[in-house]
Structure 1
């Protein structure tokens, strides 16, 4: 991501891997609080449904603060200002993500683990799900998978960094197994690669956040038909 060669330190790489995994778990934790059901909790469900949204928001504030602080430390190059070229890249990337969704959607399963987890959140708090989908996910996922990952790993090999960022992004949305919806996974991998490419080309995290936001917003508009398969 920058013009200076980085010295390879195995211990530093290991520490970055551990830190990245910890940050990912931290980013996932707030929404996971809202995935319990009445069947799981029984008579405690009414108390849970009152407290869980508040706990989710508190955890989100903590996670966002730490992730954003880490990103500011990780990015070593100056953020470039938005230009006409930046907006052109954003528009082009948004069109690409839309096409990726259109091409892969007909081959996806009607549901998968990610969609089912989101449905559990929707049952407990639709408002928080919408907030996470439109605003939180584009910001924190881009900071984590692009802003932090691409400044910690394969810094001197941008093509590898872009591809690996996309593959990992796809994996966390659709873990690879014998039961994986591979077209859903492919859509997330390609989306991640496009977003990583935007960050690399623009040197501004707000550019790929904008593309991610537009992807999710357009998906929500089409979500009544697609049952929410595309977004997040």
Structure 2
């Protein structure tokens, strides 16, 4: 009986630890939210590697809208960000085998994340779409969404006039510099050091009163991140 009791206790402790799991990288501490994450070396550089945890957030192709654009990110701890600039380099690869054959290497940032991850803003990339031979697919390379009520499928409806997606000349297996400038209800995306914006969200939707930042990926993606920089403005 004693042996059985110890087994149960250790199992419980393991569950508690996994729910509050953190990872340290480049002097920063991150908390896992529905992802599998580690530090690794890519081409001799130490980077963060992040994949969506399908055991915590199952994917269902028959209920696509309900099971994508979810809080699947590595959340930066002890940082409050409202307005300013977030910059990071990302590289996206596809998992093999692919759990979703239409995966485009979904990778990006979540910001204004609230404390329990139940609301946030996000801009992410579909790098595989950037070099597609299909122009309609290319037009979906960059995506904005607001969790939980304004996911990509809703924002792709005619009433939103395509203003929350756009094209960008990017691809898988290459480092892409993402810089997002956030000011009140507006978010501006710059890619790869370009002088002019690649994408502008003139008015963010939903609840944008949080202050967290997350390194975001979605189904079928192996995401690599490095060189996170944050500049706050009042």
Which has the larger helix fraction? 1
Which has the larger strand fraction? 2
TM over 0.5: no
Which of the five TM-score ranges fits, normalised by the shorter chain?
Answer: under 0.3
